[in-house]
Amino acid sequence: MLGNDINFATIKIYFKLKLVMKASQQLLSNILNSSSANEHYHIPKFQRPYSWQKDHWEKFLDDIEEDELGHFIGSIICLFDESSTEPNTDKVFELIDGQQRFTTISIFLAALRKTLNLEIEKAKEHMDEEDFFEYKAILINISNQLVKKLKTSNNSKQKGVFSVKDDHYILRFLPSTQNENEGDYKYILSLCGVLPSAVNKPNYFNLRRMSKAYNYFIERLEEKNLEDLKNITQKINAITMVHIQVSSNSDAFRLFDTLNNRGLPLSAIDIIKNKMLATLTSKYNKNIDSAYDQWQDLINNIEGLEDRFLRQYFNAFNHLPLISMSNKKATTSQLIKIYEELIEKRDTQNLFLDLIAKSNIYKSLIEPDTKTELEKNLQEFNYINTAPTYTLLMYLMSLGSDSFSDSHEQTLLDILTFLQKFAIRRNLTDMPKTRTLDQINIDVIEACHHCINQGGKIDINLIKSAFLKNKHKPASIEQVKEVLSSNDFYQNSMSRYLLIKLDSLWSNRQYNPNLWERNNKGDYIWTIEHVLPQSENISDDWKKMLKKNANNRNIRDIHQDNVHRIGNLTLSAYNSKLAKGSLVQKQTLNIIKLGSLTINIGYKNGLAINTNLSFDNQSLSNVYQWTDLEINTRGEIMVDLLLKSLDF
C-alpha cells in the first residue's frame, strides 16, 4: 500500500491546485460511522468497474495484519454539494477517487461478518454471556458499516434507496454499476447476512472479480479463531486515510487526475473522459449523469478500439476548425496531450457531440449490417485486416451525397472496391510500409477536402490518383504476382482470405457455407488444407505419386518446393480428418450423421475452389494424380484469377 509520505505530497498538491475543499485525516470507523450511519459513499456510474486482483487483495490484507493500528492507505476524493441535497436526508458522497480500495474494504467487511457470525454460532454454547454480547456487538457494528435499513416514511427524497421485498435500504458504500458490480455487491451482502436472501444471484456471478475477492477473503479468514477475527476487526476500523471533500465535479476531476498515481494506471480513454466530463460540467453546466450516459454510448460504439478511434478521428477531421491544430497526425503517445488541448481550447460541447456522431459512423464501419451492397463491401475490410483505412472510410461516410459525383452509392462502391484491392496488395507485399499508411490516408483526405473547397466533387479517379501518385506507392502487379506464385504463399497473412475470395468468384456454387464462421472458442471453422500433406513424413502412396513426375529429383525437395504454393492449397472444415490421407481419401472422405444422411467432407463437397476451379479439364475433386505439375498448373490458374481481381 502507500507510505505515510503521501500526506506531504498530497498537501502540496492541494495548495498548487487551489481547490475549494475540505481535507482531514480520518479513521475508517469515523468515515463509516456505525452509530449514526448518516453518511454514505457511492461511486458515480461513470467510474471504472472493480479491477483489483488476487495480488492486490493479498497485499491489502497482509499489510493490515502486519502493520500496527492506524495503517495508512492514502487519500479518497469525495464530491458533496450541499446545495443539491434535500433537507433532513443522509449525506451521500460521490467517491471520485479511492474506489478500488473502498470496494475492497467493503467486500472484506462482508467476508469478515460472514466468518465471524459462523464462528460465534459454533462457540456460543461455550461462551460466557459477556463475550457473546461483545461479539454480537461487533457483528452489528459491521452490519451498520455496510447497510442502513430505512423507515418507509423517511426515504421519499433520500438518494440511493432501494427495496428488497417490503424493506428499504441504503448502502453505506455503493460500487460502480459497470460490469454487474452493483448486483454482485448486493448479492455478497445477502451472502454475509446484512441483506435478505431474496436478493437474486446475478448470472455468471462466480466468474467475476467481486465474487473472487469475497471468496479469497473468506478462505483467508477461515483460518482465524474468534480472537484473531476480533483483532482484525480492530485493525480494519483503525485504517487511516486522508478524506478530501470537494463541491464540484471539475475540482474532483482535476484533483483525481493529479493524484491518480497508484493502483492500476488509467488508460488514455479514462483520462480523456475525466477531462471531458469535468469541462462539460464546470464550463457548460451539463448534468454529469447525462454526459456520462452519452459518453457510454460513444464507448459502446467503439468498445475495444477506443485509442484507435480517437487517433483516427483526429487524423480524419484535423482540417475542420473544431479540431484543427498544429499536429498533423495523432499518434498513440500524443493522444492525451492532443485531446487535453482540444478540450481546453475548443468548443468542448460541440467536440463531445461530434465525437459521439462520428462514433456512430465508426460502428457502422466495424460492425456493418450486410443487407445492402455497400454494407457487404464494408464487411470485407474486417476480413482484410486494414485498420488504417478506417480513417479515410470514416471521413468519406461523414460526407453528404452532394460531395460525390454521379451516384453517391455507386461512387462509394467504386471507392470501396479500389480500397480493398489496395489493402490486399499492400498486405501481400508489405508495400507501402505499415508506418506510412496513416499518412497516406491523411494525404488522401486532404486531397478530397481541397477538391470540395474548390467546388469539385469526389469520384473514383480522384481517390485513385491520390493513392497511386503518393510518394509511398503500392506494389506493381508484377510484384503481386511474384508473391502469389512463391513457394511460401501459405505463410502470407492474406493466404486464407484469397482462397475464400477465389471460391467467391463463382456465383453457381453448389455449396455455399459461411467460410468466415467461428467455433465457440473463436477459431475459424474453415482453415487452409494442404492437398499434398504439410508434414515431411508423407505416406508411401504420396511418395509413389510424386515420383511419376520426379525426373530423378529428390522427393523431399519436390515436397519442400511445392507444399506451400497456392496451387496446393484449399479450404476445409475438417482439416484434422483429411490430414495425411491419400489423394483418393481426401477426395472421397465422408461421414455418416443421422440415419442414411451422408455428408462428404472431402474435395467432392461442392466447394467452388474444389469443383469449379478447372485446370486441364479437371478439378481438385476429380484429378487422378497430384504432382508438382498439377500443383503448378492449378496455381497458375489461381494466380491469374486473383491478378485480374486485384488490377486497379
What would the pLDDT profile of 69-96 be if each residue is shown by its tens digit? 888 888 888 888 776 677 778 889 988 8
Residue 158 lies in a domain: yes
Q: Which residue has the cell 485498420?
A: 387
Residue 228 lies in a domain: yes
Domain boundary among 449, 475, 501: 475
Sort residue 50 into left (φ over 0), alpha (ψ -120 to 50) or beta. Answer: beta
pLDDT at 625 over 60: yes
Same domain, 443 and 495: no
Domain boundary among 475, 510, 529: 475
Residue 34 lies in a domain: yes
Residue 98 lies in a domain: yes
The CA-based dihedral angle spanning residues 245, 249, 250, 253, taken in that order and rounded to the nearest 10 degrees: 70
Same domain, 470 and 493: no
Q: At what angle do helices 209-221 and 54-66 cross, to 10 degrees?
A: 40
If one counts the domains in the chain, the total is: 3
Same domain, 560 and 629: yes
Same domain, 315 and 452: yes
* pLDDT tens column, 536-585: 899 999 999 999 888 989 999 999 999 999 999 999 988 888 888 899 99
Residue 1 lies in a domain: no
With contact defined as beta carbons under 8 Å apart, do 378 and 368 qualify?
yes
List phi, psi (to 5°) of 39: -125, 135
Same domain, 272 and 249: no
Same domain, 282 and 373: yes
Domain of residue 26 covers 6-259
Which pLDDT does position 176 carry in this prediction? Answer: 86
Same domain, 58 and 163: yes
* pLDDT tens column, 221-233: 998 999 999 999 9
Domain boundary among 230, 259, 288: 259
Instruction: Return d(Cα 610, Cα 613) in angstroms, integer.
Output: 6
Q: Which residue has the cell 470485407?
A: 380
* pLDDT tens column, 599-609: 788 999 889 99
Same domain, 448 and 515: no
* pLDDT tens column, 435-455: 999 999 999 999 999 999 999
Which pLDDT does position 24 carry in this prediction? Answer: 83
Residue 577 lies in a domain: yes
**Assigned C-alpha cell, 329:** 497526425
Whole-model pTM? 0.69
